[in-house]
Structure 1
Amino acid sequence: MESVLQYQFFQNALWASLLSAIVCGIVGAYIVVRRIVFVSGGITHASFGGLGLGLYLGINPILSACLVAVLSAVGIGRLSRRDMVREDSAIAGVWALGMALGVLFMTLTPGYTSGLSSYLFGNILLVSREDLWALALFALILVFVFVRYYRQILYSMFDADFAQTRGLRADRWNLSMLILVSIALVLSIRLVGIMLLMSLLTLPQSTIGLFTSRFRTIVLGSILLILVANVLGLVLSYYLSIPSGVIIVLLLFGMMGLGRLIRSLSKR
């Protein structure tokens, strides 16, 4: 194990494990508590079209995916808020359109686009130094926003009507948070991929939610569980030659099952 720690790619993967735990812990808690998991799933799959567009145009696919994800989030919010279409229908439409465009651009791109497949299933060992800097910068921004505007976010998330009476524009706060969620989803794709990302944003939060309803505790507990799963998944992936994303998801499912068992025993 000491020998593999000397490699730069493994060091990058460890840093990515820490940074993604912070980002996914905070964002996942917001998603679960506000009950917008389906919305987040639609945005995640819509970003696949942005990834394909980036590879087709020869630009950084993460940048194009962030743009598509943000536009999808804003589009879903406006369509459902103006009663132009039901929210679930808007999400399903954006979800299908993003995946279809991703496949289209993959087909139009000359040569074999193996890079696009890595975004589908993820590979934390492929995280570059540029990915780390982007993830670190966003993690700092996310932590600052939640620390500085914690009460505003909490009021808007739990009781929008009460937030309005306190002079807070709950709709603007929720839209701003949805944009941050969209960017977080795209930056976390490298870890476990589009297909498995939602488990990273829901399972740890649901596990901690078995024992507490305090939002701050859910955030901190989720960060810890994700970090443990990421590091263990990375180490087991090295020894077992199994994709790290698959191991991470299985570990999170195991943690949730253990949490439910502990809660059941404590009740007895």
Structure 2
Amino acid sequence: MQEILSLTFMQNAFLGGILVSIACGIVGSLVVINKMTFIAGGISHGAYGGIGIAFFCGFMPIIGASFFAVILALAVACMSLKDKERFDSIIGAIWAFGMALGIILIDLTPGYNVDLMGYLFGSILTIDKSTLIFISLVNLIILFFVICFYRQFCAISFDIEFAKLRGVNTTFFYYILVALMALCVVATIQVVGLILVIALMTIPPYIAENFSKKLGQMMIISAIISSLFCILGLIISYKFNLTSGASIIMVASAIFFLVAIIKNYIKFN
């Protein structure tokens, strides 16, 4: 372990994984409670369009992905609120549009060959200080909104109709939630990639839900579990020379299935 921590890129990777885990623990809990996993999936894949725009226009991919993901998230929120019956079709269209746009723009970018696999499956070992600063800013934004409006998020998560009767602007907080989800997705892309983002956002909250009675407890436990997944996944990937993002998700998946089996066994006995 001392050998691993002596390497600068591994230090950045561990720190990046822990910072992302905080965001995923908080936002992921809200995603799971509100049953918004499919929306998060659409946004995560659609965010690739922002990466393509960034490379085509010549600025940082993480900035392009952030703005594009937030715009997509707000568009999804608007359309889903107006047409709930076609909700899945809207997400599917956003998903396909973002991926296609990103790939086409990267193909059109002159003299540049982007490593598609790095964005699809993550490249946590390449995290630098600027990325750590970005993830830290995302965490601060998420913490600010969740701490300031914790009661409102609880209200819309557990009983939206009652929240409306109590005067909570549920539409506004729904928009805030999807925007925070978009930022969390972009921050997580560097760690596990577009394809595996949903796993890191949903598996830890699912496990944490079994050990918590309040939303706040669920967020904290989820962040701790997610951090453990990232640390164990990184150690395994280093020891066996495996892809770091996939290793993190394999650890998470193995624990997920173990918890599910134990939960069902206790339930039926």
Q: Tell me which moved more, 217-226 or 175-184.
A: 217-226
3-state SS of the aligned residue for 1:113? coil
3-state SS of the aligned residue for 1:59? coil
Deviation for aligned residue 1:17:
1.4
- Match for 2:151: what amino acid? R
Tell me what 2:154 maps to: 154
Kept in 2, the 8 Å contact 1:26–1:223? The answer is yes
3-state SS of the aligned residue for 1:193? helix
Q: Which runs of structure 2 are paired with 1:53-68 in the superposition (5 Å)?
A: 53-68=53-68
Tell me what 2:123 maps to: 123
Deviation for aligned residue 1:144:
2.6
- Residue 229 (structure 2) pairs with residue 194 (structure 1): no
Q: 1:60 to 1:258 in 2, by over 3 A?
A: same
- Residue 101 (structure 2) pairs with residue 101 (structure 1): yes
Deviation for aligned residue 1:84:
9.1
- Residue 113 (structure 2) pairs with residue 113 (structure 1): yes
Deviation for aligned residue 1:214:
3.0
Distance in 2 separating the partners of 1:50 and 1:66:
7
Kept in 1, the 8 Å contact 2:77–2:174? The answer is no
Q: 1:168 to 1:84 in 2, by over 3 A?
A: closer
Q: Tell me which moved more, 58-67 or 156-165.
A: 156-165
Kept in 1, the 8 Å contact 2:211–2:218? The answer is no
- Match for 2:214: what amino acid? R
Query: Cα deviations across residues 153-206 of structure 1 (Å, max 9, x unaligned)?
Result: 111222222222222101101111111111110111000000111111111112
Kept in 2, the 8 Å contact 1:54–1:64? The answer is yes
Kept in 2, the 8 Å contact 1:47–1:98? The answer is yes
3-state SS of the aligned residue for 2:47? helix
Tell me what 2:181 maps to: 181
Kept in 2, the 8 Å contact 1:24–1:200? The answer is yes
Q: Which has the higher contact order (CA 8 A, sep 6+)?
A: 2
Tell me what 1:220 maps to: 220
- Match for 2:136: what amino acid? A
3-state SS of the aligned residue for 1:114? coil
- What percentage of residue pairs aligned between the two structures are identical? 34
Tell me what 2:11 maps to: 11
Tell me what 1:81 maps to: 81
- Match for 2:190: what amino acid? R
Q: TM-score, normalised by structure 1?
A: 0.94
Distance in 2 separating the partners of 1:168 and 1:31:
19
- Structure 2: tracts of 5 or more residues without a match: none
Tell me what 1:168 maps to: 168
- Structure 1: tracts of 5 or more residues without a match: none
Over the residues paired in the alignment, what is the CA RMSD in angstroms? Answer: 1.7
Q: Which segments of structure 1 move beyond 6 Å, counting only runs of 4 or more?
A: none
Distance in 2 separating the partners of 1:181 and 1:87:
17
- Residue 143 (structure 2) pairs with residue 143 (structure 1): yes
